[in-house]
Amino acid sequence: MTDLLPLDEPFDRVSVLLPLPLDVAYDYKADPALELARGDVVEVPLGQRRMVGVVLGPGGGDAVAPERLRAVFRRLDVPRLPRTVIDLVEWTAAWTLAPRGNVVRMAISTPSAFEPPAPVVVHTAGPQEDWTGQARLTPARRRVLSVLSDGPALEQKDLAREAGVGPSVIKGMIDCGMVAPHTVAQPAPFETPDATRDGPTLSGEQQTAAETLRAKVDAHAFSVTAVDGITGSGKTEVYFEAIAAALTAGRQALVLLPEIALSAEWLERFADRFGVEPAVWHSDLKPKVRRETWRAVAEGSVRVLVGARSALFLPFAELGLIVIDEEHESAYKQEDGVAYHARDMAVVRARLEGIPIALVSATLSLETVENVRQGRYGAVHLTARPGSATLPEVALIDLRKHAPERGTFLSPPLVEAVQRTLDEGEQAMLFLNRRGYAPLTLCRTCGHRLECPNCTAWLVEHRLLGRLVCHHCGLSARLPKQCPSCEAEDSFVASGPGVERLAEEVLVRFPDARFQLASSDTLTGPDKAAEFVRSVRAREVDIIIGTQVVAKGHNFPWLTLVGVVDADLGLAGGDLRASERTYQLLHQVSGRAGRAERPGRVLLQTHAPETPVMQALAAGDRESFLQSEIDQRKAAGMPPYGRLAGIVISAPDADRADAAARMVARAAPRLNGVTILGPAPAPITMLRGRHRRRLLVKAGRQVNVQQVLRDWLAPIKLETSVRLQVDVDPYSFM
């Protein structure tokens, strides 16, 4: 596709992709004076509406006759989107089978950024000769002049506030020349990180790793490097060196983190190293910050940005490095809308940009491990914690031998270990990846279980809220007085533990200990999370009771014991990555213990100590765990040794869901090397009131699954109430 369109015709046509759930782009007439090119953001008419879209290139691809074309209204005043971003949009759409319009929406998610920032008007005192003798000097006006005489120029609302006058007073003073307005440019909201500041003195292996990454940055060519290092080995310090190299080379750097909301600590470390905080990007940004950030990335005044997965589609024009921290995290996979994996698409962006990317983790994903083994990716290894810090010792508690007392969840050995830790004046963490009080509420009289009316899921009791909550659709209800099934009164009992229930047990067993609940229900935003981290570091907390929100990242020097209450929890359900995820999560949690000079201990309560996951965790033997996973996946032809795609068909009622699923299955191709499983009811058979059926496509690595799916699904016409979602390389099997 050519960059600039021919200018020799009075009107030309351009192809414009709009942020709508459509794959097609529409043609528009374009005034050659606009000099439109691929990546320009334009406003166009659509029906009665005005819409912002992106120019893909010359038109002519659709059948609309030239005389019926409508014209582009205008080109918006933002830098042209980099070619790599448009290429990434097209690549992502082709890979995920999402309509291109849905993908481009992620790249132009901040329409307010497309208007130039409003200029700022500040005020000073007007020259006295302009108004003396012509305007009255009231007490209010005197106050305004006094504020201006010994302070900086102010915006109108600030001036009015400081002088204690209404806006009309200021307006009157402007009219008579007592106050002079001046238009100034918005101050740049982003400071440049300083790459010349010194980091810590790196250990030998850290230095080797940093050198390798720095050389890749300097080479300014596509490469993928796995940064494989145990928790606390200094992976962050090492990739900071790569960021410094990118800054020195005059390029931008992008760091993706899985849960940006909880990374106050990361931002602080970055500020320690580079003197200023980086720009951040996530879904909770205030609109003003969002707008400024988007524009500053495009204009190049943001040099380093740390963000959640959607930051991948930002219009960096001078990108020199991408870092994916915690690359194994399934949070990088988006499940709703465009089902893309941000790590995989980040590798694509790095390739399109011709730049290095680093994939960082203490528990690399099997996909990345396999790519390293095959020589497609490079790797650097960090095997030691700096200074005298050591890895924690991990031991299993066999719950079959050491059962907790009835109605409690902590086994005697774990209780004893917590007590000893408290006696030493150190901190303990009890990890249970279950929010709320109890995962299940049942009627003591008839056994009826309280289920969500919209989803195939139990209602979870949140006692702190006094509600039953569905974790799938958010439905929230009071605990009914009567059982809906047998009408017995006050007959409900909680079954199983959540973190709130564990807190009750802690309160009884360790009455003098100060404990803190940490889950997405209590750490509801960055401020709460930062306060939590601070209070733990300040040793205002003795026992942390936490879900996965505390599993990663934080350094708590006094935390020396981690007790995992239900190590088997993630293994149920049996999806493809259940063992791998359990290993990663528990390994990560274990890494919280003993990060400073105090050695740490980890106790895992399990009913299945003999499984490879538990054995590997106890022995600290990642290699043999990986090998057993690899053997199983190879034997089953599962990713990364085969390809998978999920198809979920949903409808407001079961009959329509079944009919549509059967129709899709009947149209399935019969191809060598492709197996189609289903349709079957999805494990969550009903979700938000929709009935769901699943098909699974399993194919050899050499099969172009996307092409198979396109050929299969394109001719199928579904009723409008039926939805069909494709998920290439699914991570969720619900």
- Interface residue list for ligand ADP (CB under 6 A): 200-203, 206, 229, 231-237, 386, 555
Question: CA-to-CA distance for 516 and 210, rounded, in angstroms?
Answer: 37
* Whole-number Å distance between alpha carbons of 216 and 371: 18
Residue 412: asked if its preceding bond is cis (omega within 30°), the reply is no
Helix, coil or strand: residue 362: coil
DSSP class per residue in 647-683: EEEEESSHHHHHHHHHHHHHT----TTEEEEEEEEEE
In the three-class reduction of DSSP (H, G, I as helix; E, B as strand; rest coil), residue 22 is classed as coil
* Residue of the chain from 472, 509, 539, 723 that contacts Zn ion (CB under 5 A): 472
Closer of 310 and 454 to Zn ion (Cβ): 454
State CA 456 to chain mean position distance.
Answer: 26
Which among 10-18, 360-368, 401-409, 462-470 is the span making contact with Zn ion, rule CB under 5 A? Answer: 462-470
Estimate the crossing angle of helix 622-636 against helix 366-373, to 10 degrees. 90
Q: Of the two residues 229 and 392, which places its CB atom closer to ligand ADP in the complex?
A: 229
Select the binding partner of residue 213 from ligand ADP, Zn ion, none (C-beta < 5 to 8 A, by kind).
none
| Residue number with CB closer to Zn ion (458 or 492) | 458
H/E stretch holding 515: strand 515-518
* Separation CA 586–CA 600 (nearest Å): 14
| Whole-Å CA distances, 75 to 102, 292, 298 | 21, 19, 16
- Bond prior to 679 in cis (omega within 30° of 0): yes
Tokens 């290429």 map to which residue? 87
180: partner contacted, choices ligand ADP, Zn ion, none (Cβ within 5-8 A by kind): none
For residues 303 and 253, the answer to whether their CB atoms sit within 8 Å is yes
Q: Which CB sits closer to ligand ADP, 181 or 386?
A: 386
Residue 208 CB, nearest distance to ligand ADP (Å)?
A: 12
Judged by CB under 5 A, does residue 459 bind Zn ion?
no
Which range binds Zn ion by CB under 5 A, 55-63, 211-219, 467-475, 519-527? 467-475
Burial class (CB in 10 A: 0-12, 13-18, 19+), 663: middle
Q: Which does 536 bind (CB under 5 to 8 A by kind): ligand ADP, Zn ion, none?
A: none
Phi, psi torsion values for 488, nearest 5 degrees: -65, 145
Q: Which partner in ligand ADP, Zn ion, none is near 202 (CB below 5 to 8 A by kind)? A: ligand ADP
Helices (H), 81-164: 83-96, 100-107, 139-149, 156-163
* 233 binding partner (options ligand ADP, Zn ion, none; Cβ < 5 to 8 Å by kind): ligand ADP
Report phi then psi at 341, rounded to 5: -105, 115
Partner whose binding site includes residue 200, from ligand ADP, Zn ion, none (CB under 5 to 8 Å by kind): ligand ADP
C-beta of 473: minimal distance to Zn ion in Å? 3
Q: Which of 81, 88, 238, 470 binds Zn ion (CB under 5 A)?
A: 470
Residue 257: closest CA among 247, 270, 244: 270
Q: How far is the CB of 368 from ligand ADP (least distance, A)?
A: 16
Place of tokens 């003396």: 132
Angle formed at CA 263 by CA 262 and CA 265, multiple of 5 degrees: 120
Minimum separation from the CB atom of position 593 to ligand ADP (A): 13
Q: Report the distance separating Cα 382 and Cα 324, nearest Å.
A: 17
**Residue 454 binds which entry of Zn ion, ligand ADP, none, with Cβ cut-offs from 5 to 8 Å by kind?**
Zn ion
Report what 452 binds from ligand ADP, Zn ion, none; CB cut-off 5-8 Å by kind: Zn ion
Alpha carbon distance 644, 95 (integer Å) = 13
Q: Smallest distance, Å, CB 699 to ligand ADP? A: 37
Q: For residue 417, give the amino acid letter.
A: A
Angstrom distances, CA of residue 595 to CA of 233, 360, 427, 691? 10, 19, 12, 47
Both tokens of residue 320? 């020199």
Contact 577, 287 (CB under 8 A): no
Give the residue with the Cβ less far from Zn ion, 235 or 690.
Answer: 690
Give the nearer residue to ligand ADP in terms of CB position, either 237 or 292: 237
Query: Is residue 455 within the footprint of Zn ion (CB under 5 A)?
Result: yes
In the complex with ligand ADP, the residue whose CB is nearer, 190 or 532, is 532
Q: How far is the CB of 456 from Zn ion (least distance, A)?
A: 9
**Minimum distance from residue 435 beta carbon to ligand ADP (Å):** 26
Q: Out of 176, 202, 249, 473, point to the residue binding Zn ion (CB under 5 A).
A: 473
Rounded to a whole number of angstroms, the minimum distance from the CB of residue 254 to ligand ADP is 18
Would you say 192 or 555 has its CB closer to ligand ADP? 555
Among 169, 227, 414, 475, binds Zn ion (CB under 5 A): 475
- Provide the residue type at 290 as one letter: R
Which CB sits closer to ligand ADP, 134 or 201?
Answer: 201
- Among ligand ADP, Zn ion, none, what does residue 232 contact (CB within 5–8 Å per kind)? ligand ADP
Tokens found for residue 433: 């990846």
Identify what 306 binds: Zn ion, ligand ADP, none; CB under 5 to 8 Å per kind. Answer: none
- 234 makes contact, choosing from Zn ion, ligand ADP, none, with CB < 5 to 8 Å by partner type, with ligand ADP
Q: Name the residue nearer to ligand ADP (CB basis): 232 or 640.
A: 232
DSSP 3-state of 147: helix
User: 681-684, long-range: CB within 8 Å, 24+ apart, which pairs?
Assistant: 682/648, 682/734, 683/456, 683/573, 683/733, 683/734, 684/455, 684/456, 684/457, 684/472, 684/734
Least Å distance, CB 689 to Zn ion, is 8
Task: Give 55 or 245: the residue with its C-beta nearer to ligand ADP.
Answer: 245
Q: How far is the CB of 478 from Zn ion (least distance, A)?
A: 16
Write the DSSP symbol of residue 341.
B
**Nearer to Zn ion among residue 41 and residue 734 (C-beta):** 734
Q: Could you tell which of Zn ion, ligand ADP, none binds residue 203, using a CB distance below 5 to 8 A set by kind?
A: ligand ADP
Tokens representing 10 are: 């009075």
Compare residues 201 and 388 and give the one whose CB is closer to ligand ADP: 201
Nearer to ligand ADP, 304 or 651 (CB): 304
Nearer to ligand ADP, 232 or 609 (CB): 232
The whole-angstrom separation of Cα 269 and Cα 255 is 14
Provide the minimum distance between the beta carbon of 230 and ligand ADP in the complex, in angstroms, as a whole number. 7
Q: Does 454 bind Zn ion (CB under 5 A)?
A: yes
Please confirm whether the linkage preceding 19 is cis (ω < 30° from 0): no
Q: Which of Zn ion, ligand ADP, none interacts with 473 (beta carbon under 5 to 8 A by kind)?
A: Zn ion
Residue 328 touches which member of ligand ADP, Zn ion, none, C-beta under 5-8 Å by kind: none
Please state the closest distance from residue 476 (CB atom) to Zn ion, in A.
10
Count, residues near Zn ion per rule CB under 5 A: 7
Q: Give the interface with Zn ion as residue ranges (CB under 5 A).
A: 452, 454-455, 470, 472-473, 475
